[in-house]
Structures are given as C-alpha cells and as structure tokens.
Structure 1
Amino acid sequence: MKTLAVILASALISISSFAQSGKEKTVMVGGAPMYPSKNIVENAVNSKDHTTLVAAVKAAGLVETLQGAGPFTVFAPTNKAFDKLPAGTVETLVKPENKAKLTTILTYHVVAGKWNASDLATKIKEGNGTATLTTVQGGKLKASMKGKNIILTDEKGGMAKVTISDVNQSNGVIHVIDTVLMPK
C-alpha cells in the first residue's frame, strides 16, 4: 500500500510540475518555446534559428559560462545574421586554432546584468538617444532607437536590429538580433 501511495504522490508531483511549466509565459524563437525557467543554453539549443550560434558557443567553450547564474543579457544573432558574414568566416572561426578570436566575438554579444527592452529604452532616453553598453568582452555597444526598434551599433560601425526582445531566461534575457556584432 505504501508503494502505491509513493507512486501516486510522485505522479501528482509530476503532473503539478507539468501544469506549472505550461503556465510559463514563453516566447517562440526559431520554432520553439523559450521557457523562463530554463537557462540561456537550455533554451538556445531548441531554436532552429540559432544553430550556428549554439555551435559557435560550444566551439568557444562558453556553454558552462552561459549556463551559470548570470544574469546575462545576450544579443543572439540568428543563422541568417551569420550568413551575412563573408563566405568561410564561420567555418574558420570554429576551428580550434581560432578559439580565442571566436570567444572575443561571442562575448562581445553579452552584457552583464539583465537588461530587458524597457530598461534599454529608458537608458537610451536618459542618454539623449544613445546608451553605451559595456560587453563582457570589454568592448562597447551603442544602443539607440529607430522608431520602436532597438538598434545596436558595434565598434566597427556595423548595426544590428533587435528582432525579438525580452526572451526571459532563468539566468538573464536574450534579445534576437539580425546581424553579427564585431568588436574593434
């Protein structure tokens, strides 16, 4: 009888957990729901639009970092963003001998802290139209508004638009962008 009670209790806990996860406010990215209870890596691996980014994060050895407590704000380029780079760039960057350069580029897409879109918009407004963000790589990104869109400008003058904002994670937030940002 005790065994049956334990089995029933376990089943109820599982059902309760499943019902709770169904209540999470998810955002669809790359055809998959992004769950706020999961970390950046756990969600990103499910996005069909971010397979190149996930492969690059793995090649750079940044999986453990992005699964850490954070919080992090990640500006996540899509596969199409990586496709805009000159032919062969991604293939070259993911080679073991280029790990340092790849790490530099990827960490240039990460800002310490959790900056949702309204926080960024407020900072832009307070900065009279521009906000400077320091990346974990140590470089600077300029954030501005173009209509209702947040635009990021990298140190080389390249620009990326936030196409999906406020994809909340257990350890931060992801903003999907349409162009790979490049440090100096």
Structure 2
Amino acid sequence: MTRSKLTLVLAMGLCAASACSKNETSDTAAKGAAAVKEAGNTTIAAGLNQKGEFYTLAKAAGLDATLAGPGPYTVFVPEDAAFAKLPAGTVDSWSKPEARTDLTRTLTYHILPGTVLADDIGKAIDSANGKAELATMGGQVLTATKEDGKIVISDAAGGKAVITKADETRANGVVHETNAVLMPSTAT
C-alpha cells in the first residue's frame, strides 16, 4: 500500500467520523508527502543508530534492506533501553538462525505501510472515540490511544509503548521512537 493510499485511508476514516471535506483528505495526504520530501535522501535504515538494538536485530532478520528500500513505511523503533526490559535471554535468542521467524514477526509488528505521522494517529484516535487500530506489515493490529496527552501504542498482549519522539521523517517514511518493545500475538 502506498503512503498516499494509507494516509488517504486514515484521512477518509477521520472524515467519515467528523464529516470533513475532500480538501481536508487531500491536505492530510499532502502533509505526509511533504514531510517525507523534507527528509532528503536519508532512508529509515540509514537514519537508525547503526549500533542500536533495533537496527542490529533488523539486520539479523534481513529487514535492513527493506528499511533502506523505497517504502514508504512508518516504523515504531523501541529505544535501546526498551530491549533490556524484555525477559532475560529474549534478544540473545532472536540472534540465533532458528529464531529468525520470531524476530521477523516481532520487528514487522513495529512497521506500518505508508507514512503515518503522529498527528494522523492522534486524529484517528480522536475520531474513533479514543481507540484506533493500526494494521502492521506483519498482518496484525496495534491499538493506539492517548494517555496524559501522549500517544500510546498497545500490542496484542496489552503491553504499552509510549511514543517518546515522533515524526523523524526519512526519504522512505517516518520513525517514531517508543519506550517499549511491542510483542505480536503468537497465534499464526
């Protein structure tokens, strides 16, 4: 799905709930496109901390090439400290070849198709009466809400990640830093 299609889908959902005009739908799509254009040539992969946990794991899963590709993507990148909060041995086990499927499922759970800015998520939350669902590249759903004025992303098990730094635009999408790792459902 292209950035404009996803942005348009989000915008249409917002418009349906708030009865906005076609101009507002176009404005939302244009805003996402303008943010990506401002980012220059730096891709999501190139803009990530190359020694950080998320990039290291993305490289182990083979997703570094995807995040360097045309996209566009929206990526919720957990801070390095978030990985330390996982049960002991989790990150080490993901580094093993036999765990690549689990690692890939977890990382793609942090990726949305298209460019979805924090403002888009906030508007979707507001128009959906406080709770918006976000479809991930991994085929699962994240739930976005607001708590104390901050956007909170919840995973399948009810774990929560707060967006701590939003709208880091790149040539192929946008990155939102979070304070927790989101865990997908283990059901296939």
TM-score normalised by L of structure 2: 0.76
Alpha-carbon deviations, 1:132-167, whole Å to 9, x = none?
001000111000111221000100110000000000
Q: Which residue in 2 is equivalent to 1:164?
A: 165
User: Cα RMSD between the aligned structures?
Assistant: 1.4
Structure possessing the higher relative contact order (Cα contacts under 8 Å, 6 or more residues apart): 2
Q: Which residue in 1 is equivalent to 2:48?
A: 44
Matches within 5 A, 1:22-61: 36-46=40-50, 51-61=52-62
Alpha-carbon deviations, 1:162-183, whole Å to 9, x = none?
0000000100000000000001
Matches within 5 A, 1:10-25: none
Q: Which residue in 2 is equivalent to 1:145?
A: 146
Structure 2 portions without partners, runs of 5+: 1-34
Task: Give the whole-Å Cα distance in 1 for the aligned partners of 2:54 and 2:71.
Answer: 19
Identity score, percent: 41
Match of 1:123, SS?
A: helix
Matches within 5 A, 1:18-167: 36-46=40-50, 51-167=52-168
Task: Give the whole-Å Cα distance in 1 for the aligned partners of 2:41 and 2:176.
Answer: 17
Match of 1:152, SS?
A: strand
Match of 2:157, SS?
A: coil
Structure 1 portions without partners, runs of 5+: 1-24, 26-34
In structure 1, give the amino acid aligned to 2:56: A
Structure 1 runs of 4+ aligned residues shifted over 3 Å read: none
TM-score normalised by L of structure 1: 0.77
Higher-Rg structure is: 1
1:36 offset after TM fit, Å? 4.6
Kindly tell me the number of residue pairs found equivalent between the two proteins.
148
